[in-house]
């Protein structure tokens, strides 16, 4: 069983460590100027003068998940009030960045769980997906992190996470497989077994 207090403390320590190692904004902007020169353009020309600052601001948004604690997102819970079937939130937008080529990953996540004693507000499921997505990722790990955190934080009887996404690393470069999409899933607890497994996968396929 995951110790949530220890997990939260560990997350805070990781944030402190990252903050200590984090380059300054000026250093980050200088790195962008270097990449512009490497690409063959002049960062001093009018159209590019403000680009390094814009890129750094964009990175703060694209990678904001490093500064969010996923366990805390699920911290406020409510009694399930007698409800004992699965809860499913479909078509949660996923915007992430591939850790191999730093290309965009775009798609949707479907998240379902069988509540134990407590439930969370549905917006928290979307926030959980976003907190993990806004990091350098691979889709397989993203799927597992969302499912594992939901299972442990809520002590859910079961969890199912399915992600369908396109990857810029293979649509804009390399094989140029336009329109290709990757599907990953993780089923835990009772969601991995009948009768819930078939019901959940059927409900997910209706929007996949």
pLDDT in tens, the chain (208 residues): 445 555 555 555 555 556 678 899 999 999 999 999 999 999 999 999 999 999 999 999 999 999 999 999 999 999 988 898 999 999 999 999 999 999 999 999 999 999 999 999 999 999 999 999 999 999 999 999 999 999 999 999 999 999 999 999 998 988 988 889 999 999 999 999 998 999 988 887 765 4
**Coil, helix or strand for 163?**
strand
Nearest to 161 by CA among 108, 83, 103, 121: 108
Q: What is the pLDDT of residue 10?
A: 56
Q: What is the pLDDT of residue 41?
A: 98
Give me the residue spans of the domains in the chain.
4-62, 77-205
Q: Terminal CA-to-CA distance of the chain, rounded, Å?
A: 32
Q: What is the pLDDT of residue 2?
A: 47
Q: How many CB atoms lie within 10 A of CB 58?
A: 10
Q: What is the pLDDT of residue 55?
A: 98
Q: What is the pLDDT of residue 82?
A: 86
The class (CATH top level) of 4-62 is mainly alpha
Sign of the C-alpha dihedral computed for residues 122, 124, 128 and 133 taken in this order: positive
Sign of the C-alpha dihedral computed for residues 133, 137, 139 and 140 taken in this order: negative
Give the catalytic positions in this structure.
98-101, 139, 167, 169
Which helix (H) or strand (E) element contains residue 123?
helix 122-133
Identify the CATH number of the domain defined by range 77-205.
3.30.1130.10
147/162 Cα distance (integer angstroms): 9
Q: What is the pLDDT of residue 113?
A: 96
Q: pTM for this one?
A: 0.86
């Amino acid at each position: 069983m995951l110790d949530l207090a220890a997990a939260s403390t560990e997350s805070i320590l990781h944030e402190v460590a990252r903050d200590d190692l984090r380059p300054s904004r000026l250093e980050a902007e200088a790195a962008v100027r270097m990449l512009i020169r490497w690409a063959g353009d002049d960062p001093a020309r009018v159209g590019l003068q403000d680009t390094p600052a814009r890129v750094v601001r964009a990175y703060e948004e694209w990678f904001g998940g490093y500064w969010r604690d996923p366990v805390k997102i699920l911290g406020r819970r409510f009694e399930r009030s007698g409800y004992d079937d699965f809860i499913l939130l479909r078509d949660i937008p996923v915007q992430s960045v591939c850790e191999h080529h730093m290309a965009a990953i775009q798609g949707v996540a479907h998240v379902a769980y069988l509540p134990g004693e407590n439930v969370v507000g549905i917006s928290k499921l979307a926030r959980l997906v976003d907190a993990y997505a806004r990091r350098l990722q691979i889709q397989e790990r993203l799927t597992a992190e969302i499912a594992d955190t939901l299972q442990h934080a809520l002590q859910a009887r079961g969890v199912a996470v399915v992600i369908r996404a396109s990857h810029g690393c293979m649509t804009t470069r390399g094989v140029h497989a336009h329109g290709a999409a990757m599907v990953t899933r993780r089923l835990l607890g009772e969601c991995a077994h009948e009768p819930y497994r078939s019901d959940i996968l059927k409900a997910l396929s209706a929007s996949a």
